[in-house]
Amino acid sequence: MISIQNEPQPTDLGDVRVANRAVVLRHVRLHAPCSRADIAARTGLNKATVSSLVAELIDQRLVRETGLTENRVGRPATMLVLDGEPYAALGLQLGADELVAVAIDLGGNRLLTWRRAFAADTVSPAETLRALTALARRAIGRVTAQGRTMLGLTVGVPGLVDPAGAVPLADALGWRDVPVAADLRAALREPAFTVGVETVANLAALAEQRHGAYAGTADLVHLAGGITVGAGIIAAGRLLRGGRGFAGGIGHLPVDPAGPPCDCGGRGCLTTLVGLPAVVRRLLPDAEADGPVTDYLPELTRIVALARQDDPTVCNGLAETGRHLGRGVAVLADLLNPEAVVLGDHFATLAPWLLPAARSELAARAHAPGAGGVRLDASTLDTAAALGGATAALAAVEAGRLPTR
Ligand SMILES: [Zn+2]
């Protein structure tokens, strides 16, 4: 006998309303300016439901009337757009040598982009969290002074992040079991808005899917660089997190068995071949003459300058880095068959010299014909992970839940 216990139960009316609210908001976000009649016609919701939902969204100031009318046969219609004014969402990014804050409004328009030099791998997790808190407080202060309500905050960390927002492991930072979300919530005195934590790669992938050159692509991978290497994977339109949230951690993918030793005990891991510290060490042997590098931007700028002058050592080193990168991307292409793999961070900065070698290695190594149709390109987004963090912080409202003002 077939049990019906596990079959979906009828959803209650509250859930239906939340889901319909999300449908209306999504339609306005993608098609504004649009009328109530457009929404009803395109979403299949009936006109009375749309009118009631729109009234509620206007009341919450998530949507506003523009006063514009559509010039067509019949009664002129009032047009609707997202209301960007009353709300803000914040993304923070823990980078190789900096902290980044990006705030956006409901429509995704940037309200602020701040970068602060900060070498997280040289200080304790507690000091890093203090610096993050201070930056968050200043950014929150700035947007709330504009009369905006904070909808949420998401921090991007270069490491593994569990569903509770804790970081069990971040090699690049020397972190073990750091309860980032809980500590940040406490430091911000348990705010009314959500405080989330994600890997920088996941957040950058979200930013690519919403704001990047491949926006709207259902199967997309963002390969984040910097002090570590990680993949943010969008599969069938959704972020792929895996069972415990650790999907995409490909930094220790073995690429070259004869490669340099890695902190993990292996050899020739992707990070040891193409990560920013490895690239700087290999291409600029004098970079560590005065001690460990804590500020990578000047070194990256030097590499670019030498590559532009066709310096043979640097150009050969970048081509070799591109080949290693191509091998890593070939694994992603075979495993996930994405439509696009987008390179972020230092890979994007060095893309003119990395991409030719990476693309030919990808074509040669991937099993599927034409590497499964994957396009390999550099990201065009600035501070992608922080932008993705702010985008992720809009998720609850975009899912149809009303903000608490
Ligand atoms: Zn390793």
pLDDT digits (tens, 9 = 90+) for 196-249: 999 999 999 999 999 999 999 999 999 999 888 999 999 999 999 999 999 999
Q: Residue 322 corresponds to which tokens in the numbers above?
A: 């591109």
Q: From CA 262, how far away is CA 268, in angstroms rounded?
A: 7
The CA 237 to ligand 1 mean position distance, Å, reads: 30
Give me Rg for the CA atoms of the chain.
Answer: 23
**Ion ligand 1: residues, Cβ under 5 Å:** 252, 262, 264, 266, 269
Q: Are strands 238-239 and 230-235 parallel, antiparallel or unpaired?
A: antiparallel
Tell me the per-residue pLDDT of 297-349, one tens digit each, with 9 for 90 and over. Answer: 899 999 999 999 999 999 999 999 999 999 999 999 999 999 999 999 999 99
The CA 267 to ligand 1 mean position distance, Å, reads: 6
* Helix, strand, or coil (residue 174): coil
The CA 312 to ligand 1 mean position distance, Å, reads: 29
Check: CB of residue 268 under 8 Å from CB of residue 257.
Answer: yes
The CA 227 to ligand 1 mean position distance, Å, reads: 13
In whole angstroms, how far apart are CA 377 and each of 206, 261, 365, 374? 16, 29, 17, 10
The CA 28 to ligand 1 mean position distance, Å, reads: 45
Tell me the per-residue pLDDT of 358-395, one tens digit each, with 9 for 90 and over. Answer: 999 999 999 999 999 999 999 999 999 999 999 999 99
The CA 266 to ligand 1 mean position distance, Å, reads: 5
The CA 3 to ligand 1 mean position distance, Å, reads: 48
- Note the pLDDT of residue 3: 41
- Note the pLDDT of residue 227: 85
* Helix, strand, or coil (residue 137): helix
User: Closest Cα partner for 307 from 268, 357, 256, 365?
Assistant: 357
The CA 271 to ligand 1 mean position distance, Å, reads: 7
Tell me the per-residue pLDDT of 16-37, one tens digit each, with 9 for 90 and over. Answer: 999 999 999 999 999 989 999 9
- Note the pLDDT of residue 7: 45
- Note the pLDDT of residue 71: 59
Residue 2 has pLDDT above 80, yes or no: no
Check: CB of residue 160 under 8 Å from CB of residue 147.
Answer: no
Band (pLDDT 50/70/90 cuts) for residue 5 is: very low
The CA 297 to ligand 1 mean position distance, Å, reads: 24
Between the CA atoms of 348, 351, 352 and 358, what dihedral angle is there, to the nearest 10 degrees? Answer: -160
In whole angstroms, how far apart are CA 355 and each of 315, 329, 352, 375? 12, 11, 6, 11
The CA 278 to ligand 1 mean position distance, Å, reads: 12
Band (pLDDT 50/70/90 cuts) for residue 405 is: low
The CA 211 to ligand 1 mean position distance, Å, reads: 32
pTM, 2 dp: 0.91
User: Closest Cα partner for 115 from 146, 92, 141, 134?
Assistant: 92
Query: What is the distance between the terminal CA atoms of the chain, rounded to a whole angstrom?
Result: 51
- Note the pLDDT of residue 14: 76
CA angle 326, 265, 315 (to 5 degrees): 35
The CA 262 to ligand 1 mean position distance, Å, reads: 5
Tell me the per-residue pLDDT of 260-284, one tens digit each, with 9 for 90 and over. Answer: 999 889 999 999 999 999 999 999 9
Q: From CA 10, how far away is CA 51, in angstroms rounded?
A: 24
Tell me the per-residue pLDDT of 42-100, one tens digit each, with 9 for 90 and over. Answer: 999 999 999 999 999 999 999 999 976 765 666 678 899 999 789 999 999 998 789 99
Biggest distance spanned by C-alpha atoms of the chain: 76
Band (pLDDT 50/70/90 cuts) for residue 4 is: very low
- Note the pLDDT of residue 349: 96
- Residues 35-40: what's their mean pLDDT? 93
- Note the pLDDT of residue 68: 67
The CA 268 to ligand 1 mean position distance, Å, reads: 7
- Note the pLDDT of residue 172: 83
Residue 404 has pLDDT above 80, yes or no: no
Residue 1 has pLDDT above 50, yes or no: no
Sign, CA torsion 316/317/322/328? positive
Q: What is the mean pLDDT of the chain?
A: 92
User: Closest Cα partner for 160 from 276, 249, 265, 263?
Assistant: 249
